[in-house]
């Protein structure tokens, strides 16, 4: 992969961009706010560049690192510029009081994004179950963080798996795109743990493999 495009300039964009810059691919940062994009590119370093919001992203993989409340508008505004692209959905469509979701009962966030995207775009859910500062650290006591992912296209998932591995993280394929609903519930579980038992965000969800 030669270029990774990140649409967004928040904590998750910084975390993924910072990790992506280390292995070598060029990182393109895109934001509605050009000044924020420039600042993020400087923060990421390693030759990161900025793109123009709404223009065709340069990346082989496009990270949708904006809040769910904005992501459908972003995808719709880009329109055919996303045709044939691989879109990585990292969003969580969780309501303001962290008790449920803002998506229709018969749907989930990644599915709504797939509906808004061009028909030939591939959507893979990933990165949504880790807090940004934990993700930015990359490894805990020498162990890579788990990145759960879900998607329908095997080739698209293989590309995301390779990308995750290039970041020094461990990809965990959970199945087809409808499994993204479960991954969004995992994010809700994390917020419930923060509110009711753990009381901080310095933890990660992962899999411990036993012989």
Per-residue three-class SS string for the chain: CCEEEEECCCHHHHHHHHHHHCCCCEEEEECCCHHHHHHHHHHHCCCCEECCCCCCCCCCEEEECCCHHHHHHHHHHHHHHHCCCEEEECCCCECCCCCCECCCCCCCHHHHHHHHCCCCCEEEEECCCCCHHHHHHCEECCEECEEEEEECCHHHHHHHHHHHHHCCCEEEECCCHHHHHHHHHHHHHHHHHHHHCCCCCCCCCCCCCCC
Give pLDDT tens digits for 46-90: 788 999 999 999 998 999 999 999 999 999 999 999 999 999 999
Question: Are 126 and 162 in contact, with CB atoms under 8 Å apart?
Answer: no
**pLDDT at residue number 48:** 87
**pLDDT at residue number 23:** 60
Closest among 160, 7, 159 to 17, alpha carbons compared? 7
**pLDDT at residue number 162:** 94
pLDDT above 80: residue 2? no
Selection from 19-23, 42-46, 142-146 with the highest mean pLDDT: 142-146
Give pLDDT tens digits for 158-182: 999 999 999 999 999 999 999 999 9
Percent of the chain residues topping a pLDDT of 90: 83
pLDDT above 60: residue 28? yes
**pLDDT at residue number 11:** 94
**pLDDT at residue number 84:** 95
């Amino acid at each position: 992969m030669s270029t990774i495009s990140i649409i967004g300039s928040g904590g998750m964009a910084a975390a993924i961009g910072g990790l992506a810059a280390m292995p070598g691919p060029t990182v393109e940062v895109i934001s509605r706010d050009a000044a924020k994009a420039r600042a993020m590119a400087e923060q990421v370093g390693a030759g990161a560049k900025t793109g123009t919001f709404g223009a065709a992203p340069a990346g082989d993989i496009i990270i949708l690192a904006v809040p769910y409340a904005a992501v459908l508008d972003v995808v719709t505004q880009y329109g055919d510029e996303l045709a044939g692209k691989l879109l990585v959905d990292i969003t969580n469509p969780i309501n303001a009081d962290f008790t449920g979701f803002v998506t229709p009962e018969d749907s989930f966030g990644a599915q709504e994004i797939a509906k808004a995207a061009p028909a030939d775009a591939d959507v893979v859910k990933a990165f949504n179950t880790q807090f940004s500062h934990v993700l930015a650290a990359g490894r805990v006591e020498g162990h890579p963080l788990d990145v759960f992912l879900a998607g329908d296209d095997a080739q698209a998932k293989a590309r995301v798996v390779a990308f995750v591995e290039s970041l020094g993280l461990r990809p965990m394929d959970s199945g087809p795109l409808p499994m993204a609903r479960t991954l969004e519930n995992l994010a809700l579980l994390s917020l419930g743990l923060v509110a009711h038992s753990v009381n901080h965000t310095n933890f990660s969800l992962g899999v411990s493999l036993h012989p």
